[in-house]
Amino acid sequence: MGFPAQTIGDLKNLARRRVPRMFFDYADSGSWTESTYNANETDFSKIKFRQRVAVDMTDRSLGSTMIGQDVAMPVAIAPTGFGGMQHPDGEMLGARAARALGIPFTLSTMSICSIEDVSEATGGAPFWFQLYVMRDRKFMHNLIDRAKAANCSALVLTLDLQILGQRHKDARNGLSAPPKINFNTVWQLASRPQWCLSMLKTRRHTFRNIVGHAENVGDLSSLSSWTAEQFDPKLNWSDIEWIKERWGGKVILKGIMDAEDARMAAASGADAIIVSNHGGRQLDGAPSSISALPSIVEAVGDKIEVHMDGGIRSGQDVLRALCLGAKGVYIGRPWLYGLGAGGEAGVRQALEIIRKELDVTMALCGERDIRNVGRHNLVNPGVFSE
């Protein structure tokens, strides 16, 4: 692959050296004190596996389904903004890597590469698209229709970004796409000359799902004000009804952290929910996603498919989430670290690392089929019970 990496942590360290600080910090930070961001990772270590021996470990399978779609392992790439600023054409490369590994790729509304860019890069293969609820309903209709035209097979509706969390590192770094030119950003870019040279080879430097599609958005200043003003604080459950009707396909609701909200999501007619605190980038002081998962599975697990994201840094973390009832997990930062470290090859390596760790850990727990794992594979299945 051209670079040494045995773990997701190795890829993270490589990305830190190659990506300008504003974009690396965007991937590697949380809101306020970052307590929730840190808990997302550290709470996984509280879950202990039940090791089994003298069991048949041959013919193992990681194959499963997510919302009825066959997947090579129950892992999807999460929607993340600014992917194309970690590496040129980043979302296109990530989608190709996900397709090669047989897992879903979810494109963010706030991606650098557009829906059409990703569709072209994957030869029209299906991928998932993430949507925010915005005040400009005409633009939302347009996004939904573009996603349908691009053969997207699921719509991921994010519910936890009505108001932007306070993200100190992004503010200090002057985060924008493309970067604004001032002393702070010039210093950051000058320290990463290889990244700068590679970015000259692509025309994709801003939010291409928006520019050229939303009214009165043509330059950086209008784009900045548009995104700040567009997230709709009046979002409510009735919005899901018209979005689902307009879309007409599979709908996944992202940002569920409470059992009561999970029950309402199940009643909305959605196909799945994602237990998620937005990677610790919204409400600091909220519980970790993995600690919230068991109570939500208990509340709605027989009514709607439950997925989770937040803090996954290894295949072992994937297995822990599956043992606690998730039917699938999403990785955001790991694929961004791989992307920043080595483009498409780096993303593939991140996915291969997770696949291998998941397979080996499953085997050492005495299981051969990922669909059979559960609480019986844990020493302390009630670790997050009150």
The DSSP line for 127-150 is -EEEEE-BS-HHHHHHHHHHHHHT
In a domain, 379, yes or no: no
In a domain, 260, yes or no: yes
In a domain, 380, yes or no: no
Rounded distance, CA 235 to CA 140, Å? 13
79-116 as b/e, with b when 16 or more CB fall inside 10 Å?
bbbbbbbbbbbbbbbbbbbbbebebbbbbbbbbbbbbe
Q: Which domain holds residue 289?
A: 8-47+61-364
Of 71, 163, 104, 109, the closest CA to residue 331 belongs to 104
Provide the whole-model pTM. Answer: 0.96
Phi-psi region of 251 (alpha: psi -120 to 50; beta: other; left: phi over 0): beta
**Into how many domains does the chain fold?**
1
- Long-range CB pairs of 20-24 (<8 Å, 24+ gap) are 20/179, 20/185, 20/188, 20/189, 20/191, 20/192, 20/195, 21/173, 21/188, 21/191, 22/170, 22/173, 22/174, 22/175, 22/179, 22/185, 22/188, 23/82, 23/85, 23/86, 23/175, 23/340, 24/86, 24/340
In a domain, 328, yes or no: yes
In a domain, 87, yes or no: yes
Strands 75-77 and 305-309: unpaired
Q: Are 276 and 309 in contact (CB under 8 A)?
A: yes
> What's the gap between Cα 97 and its chain centre?
15
In a domain, 386, yes or no: no
Task: Give me the active site residues, please.
Answer: 278
In a domain, 369, yes or no: no
CATH number of residue 341's parent domain = 3.20.20.70
In a domain, 196, yes or no: yes
pLDDT tens per residue across all 386 residues of the chain = 456 899 999 999 999 999 999 999 999 999 999 999 999 999 999 999 999 999 999 999 999 999 999 999 999 999 999 999 999 999 999 999 999 999 999 999 999 999 999 999 999 999 999 999 999 999 999 999 999 999 999 999 999 988 888 899 888 888 888 888 888 889 999 999 999 999 999 999 999 999 999 988 877 666 677 777 888 888 999 999 999 999 999 999 999 999 999 999 999 999 999 999 999 999 999 999 999 999 999 999 899 999 999 999 999 999 999 999 999 999 999 999 999 999 999 999 999 999 999 999 999 999 999 999 999 999 999 999 86
